[in-house]
Amino acid sequence: MSKTIFINGKECAFDGTKTVLQVARDNGFYIPSLCYHPKLGPASKCRVCVVEVDGQRNLQTSCSLMPAEGMQITTDSERVLDAQRMVVNLLLANGNHNCMVCERNGNCELQDAAYHLGIELPAFVVEERVEKDESAAFIVRDNNKCIQCGRCVEACNRLVVNEVLDFGFRGGHTEVVCDGNKPMGVSSCVQCGECVQVCPVGALIEKKAIGKARSWETHTVRTTCPYCGVGCQLDLHMKGDQIVRITGNETAEPNKGHLCVKGRFGYDFIYSNERLTAPLVKKNGKFEETSWDEALDLVANKFKEIIKESGPDAIAGVSCARSINEDSFYMQKLFRAAIGTNNIDHCART
């Protein structure tokens, strides 16, 4: 049975499984939050999501606060907004957040928070800069833009359990490091890109996407990853008919946003000049393009000839690991039921 709380005077139902932040967002209230991600759970690190709760002296982090029956919550009082502005100003000061040239412009949660709070210029300036880490094959790390929200650390350690990323050093020198402060390219990172997907700012960027398109120039197409039979769901970020980058679909089964290095970064083959675009049949020692009907009739007739001369066990098949499970099922059904042999295997088995 649902209960109710009041957010800025509006009555909102809750069932006890969601935090105040989640209930607020479900009811159309924007509360800035940078360390919270639905896959990672409550964090309470950035302190940007604070709200005022009637009867409680201190501001509360809405990403970790569980609602209670009749709770009165205010998200837009001057006390709340002043606290949020202070945190965002400090985060903007301690980094090179130049939105004009940042790849995340228009798709940055820190930018969204600053816009919501009316911050045009940082109130403080910190001049210290560190070098970008461009040593990895597919990911660029820019700790100048890092807000130390901890999302990438949590994702690496708790979601994919690679345990590469962690916080290093102390105080104002704290930063996210790889394997005790190695360049990402020589660390044990497998380049799955989960850290890039959960990063709320431009601190982690897909190297192949740099300079390809602004966020507002792209549209999203959902598809299935072609690399194995698991069927991971992808969101292709397209500019025209070209893929700019790929992210995992956060709400889709079976991957819930997770991807391997192939699924996230291995899309270059789509544009290869060597890719076959039509069936080929060898005639007079050379391959020539033909129709699907002619190609399939040729294969079927060859199968019939082999079965007639040598029996069905003279034919064997190997199903491709890039095929979805349903295709592999029909492949084995073709060989067992139609051809009459159990000589069917799958390349992923080895």
pLDDT of residue 325: 80
Residues of the chain with pLDDT > 70, as a percent, come to 99
With 90 as the cut, is the pLDDT of residue 42 above it?
no
Q: 113 in a domain, yes or no?
A: no
Q: 35 in a domain, yes or no?
A: yes
The whole domain housing 78 covers 3-93
Domain-ending residue, one of 160, 180, 211: 211
Give per-residue pLDDT as tens, 136-145: 999 999 999 9
Residues 285 and 224 in one domain: no
Q: 111 in a domain, yes or no?
A: no
Residues 186 and 172 in one domain: yes
pLDDT of residue 346: 85
With 70 as the cut, is the pLDDT of residue 350 above it?
no
AA letter at 151: R
Q: What is the pTM of this model?
A: 0.84
Q: 109 in a domain, yes or no?
A: no
Q: 107 in a domain, yes or no?
A: no
Mean of per-residue pLDDT scores for the chain: 93
Give the model's confidence band at 98: pLDDT under 50 very low, under 70 low, under 90 confident, else very high: confident
Residues 299 and 250 in one domain: no
Integer Cα distance of 258 and 278 in angstroms:
33
pLDDT of residue 168: 95
With 70 as the cut, is the pLDDT of residue 228 above it?
yes
Q: Which of 47-56, 323-332, 336-345 has the lowest mean pLDDT?
A: 323-332
pLDDT of residue 1: 62
Q: How many domains does the chain have?
A: 4
Tokens matching residue 118: 């009316």
Q: 141 in a domain, yes or no?
A: yes
CATH of the domain at 83: 3.10.20.740
Q: Which residues contact 231 (CB under 8 A, 6 or more apart)?
A: 224, 225, 254, 324, 325
Integer Cα distance of 156 and 163 in angstroms:
6
Q: 52 in a domain, yes or no?
A: yes
Give per-residue pLDDT as tens, 142-194: 999 999 999 999 999 999 999 999 999 988 889 999 999 999 999 999 999 99
Q: 116 in a domain, yes or no?
A: no
Per-position DSSP letters for 44-102, written without gaps between them: --S-TTEEEETT-SS-EETTTPPP-TT-EEESSSHHHHHHHHHHHHHHHHTS---TTT-
